[in-house]
Amino acid sequence: MYDNVDMEASDVTYKSQFPVQLSANLPGGGTFKLDGKVGPLNPGDASLTPLDAKVTIKGLDLAKTGFVDPSTGISGIADLENTLASKDGVARAQGSATLTKLQLVKGGAPSGIPILVDFIVDYNLAASTGTLTQGAIKVGKAVTHLSGTFDNKGNEVVLNLKVDGQNIPVTDLEAALPAFGVVLPKGSSLKSGTASANLTVQGPADKAVTTGNVGLYNAQLAGFDMSSKMSTITKLMGGHGGTDTTIQKFTSNVRVAPDGIQANAIDTVIPAIGEITGAGTVSNSGALNFNMVANLSSSGAVGGAVGGAMGGIPGMQKVSGGAGGSTKIPFTIQGTTSDPKFVPNVGAVATAAVSGIAQQAAGNALKGAQVPAGLGGLLGGKKKPPK
């Protein structure tokens, strides 16, 4: 419902510009105002009439506009100021928007900090298509660049956008992460580090799918001790850590859709533990389902203890490579994003151990067995010279 619509025009003529003011109340209580000049009027197609105006929108409730499916979980309040210039069938909008309490995925949470968007958009009125020639998403000092196209021919806006962010300070970004469905463990915070993102956003605006890769580097997650959280895996080996977790590197291929987040090719390096790899999903309710492998470094606080204890188990022996080698332990991550649970994959450990025992037993049996002369040649043994 748009009410209190008020338009005023003076000195109206077909052959020259004349001033126009338009205002209205928006759904949810926001306001719209346009102040500018129109003309000369195009008698064949009014949409091709030149326009130069300033547009101001205050308090636009994204969830109540009617353009967004409520089931997507998209919500927030937008304030926008831009100039609008239309001529020869092409309109250019240039300005900025401030988004508060923004939430972009179901199961996420409103951003705790305003998100600013600067943009320049060229829109072809006849084709109902647009190009975002310049875009920047700003969260504090963190800046991510946005570009691409959109199509408005049908009943919904279809996006094809690129997101590029490099060396983004995570301390500025942290408060906005819930808007994108990224929730840190309860009681934790990012004290340092940088992030990167190379993403593609495609599909209907309210059901778009985001794919690409993300990274986190040299970060400190305060208030979250990864070693202690993995105690069910490492407690028998004497592993321990501090109150914080240092993340040297985290990279992953991601897919963010209305039904949740998929993360593949996860590669994480935590100096106190080692390297952790794997893949999994985060549902739109925040439930975790990840299958991971901890490649525990013998130089880490946990890895040294685990390696010593596990090294004697067939199938769990140290893997050579790097200083001191490493020990691989499979595990799962369950629970929720705010309260993750690290559970050892007992079945995988047992399978590796049984396999190792079998290989060891077979090796010992072969050492004491008499190998036929003909078979020995096939196996690479020395042939006896003919008599």
In a domain, 322, yes or no: yes
On whether the CB atoms of residues 5 and 24 are closer than 8 A, the answer is yes
| pLDDT band per the 50, 70, 90 thresholds, residue 366 | low
Provide the pLDDT for residue 296: 75
Report the mean per-residue pLDDT for the chain: 82
pLDDT at 14 over 70: yes
| pLDDT band per the 50, 70, 90 thresholds, residue 233 | low
Residue 242 CB partners (closer than 8 Å, separation 6+): 225, 227, 272
% the chain with pLDDT above 90: 52
- Assess whether 97 and 168 both reside in one domain: yes
In a domain, 195, yes or no: no
pLDDT at 38 over 80: yes
pLDDT at 9 over 90: yes
pLDDT at 378 over 80: no
Residues 215 and 143: their CA atoms lie apart, in Å, by 15
In a domain, 378, yes or no: no
% the chain with pLDDT above 70: 78
pLDDT at 315 over 70: no
Provide the pLDDT for residue 182: 84
The DSSP symbol for 362 reads H
In the block, tokens 């043994």 appear at: 381
Q: Looking at this protein, which amino acid is placed at residue 96? A: S
- Assess whether 28 and 114 both reside in one domain: yes
Show which of 187, 216, 233 is a domain's final residue. 187
Residues 66 and 46: their CA atoms lie apart, in Å, by 26
- Which of residues 347 and 167 earns the better pLDDT score? 167
In a domain, 286, yes or no: yes
Read off the pLDDT of residues 271-306 as tens digits, 9 standing for 90 and up.
888 899 999 999 988 899 999 998 876 554 444 444
On whether the CB atoms of residues 329 and 233 are closer than 8 A, the answer is yes
Provide the pLDDT for residue 304: 47
Mean pLDDT for 151-175 is 91
- Assess whether 142 and 241 both reside in one domain: no
- Find the domain containing 304 and state its range: 225-365
Read off the pLDDT of residues 89-110 as tens digits, 9 standing for 90 and up.
899 999 999 999 999 887 788 9
- Assess whether 230 and 169 both reside in one domain: no
- Assess whether 156 and 247 both reside in one domain: no
- Assess whether 127 and 246 both reside in one domain: no
Cis peptide before 40 (omega within 30 of 0): yes
Work out the end-to-end distance of the chain between its first and last CA atoms, rounded to an integer number of angstroms. Answer: 105
| pLDDT band per the 50, 70, 90 thresholds, residue 361 | low
pTM beyond 0.85: the answer is no
In a domain, 324, yes or no: yes
- Assess whether 105 and 180 both reside in one domain: yes
Sign of CA dihedral 314, 318, 320, 326: positive
Mean pLDDT for 239-256 is 83
In a domain, 202, yes or no: no
Provide the pLDDT for residue 324: 47
In a domain, 280, yes or no: yes
Provide the pLDDT for residue 131: 97
- Which of residues 206 and 31 earns the better pLDDT score? 31
pLDDT at 359 over 60: no
On whether the CB atoms of residues 151 and 129 are closer than 8 A, the answer is yes
- Assess whether 239 and 90 both reside in one domain: no
Number of domains in the chain: 2
Provide the pLDDT for residue 311: 45
Looking at the DSSP bridge assignments, the partners of residue 159 are 150, 203
On whether the CB atoms of residues 223 and 187 are closer than 8 A, the answer is yes
- Assess whether 242 and 146 both reside in one domain: no
In a domain, 244, yes or no: yes
| pLDDT band per the 50, 70, 90 thresholds, residue 213 | very high
- Assess whether 46 and 156 both reside in one domain: yes
- Assess whether 95 and 15 both reside in one domain: yes
- Which of residues 280 and 379 earns the better pLDDT score? 280
- Assess whether 133 and 277 both reside in one domain: no
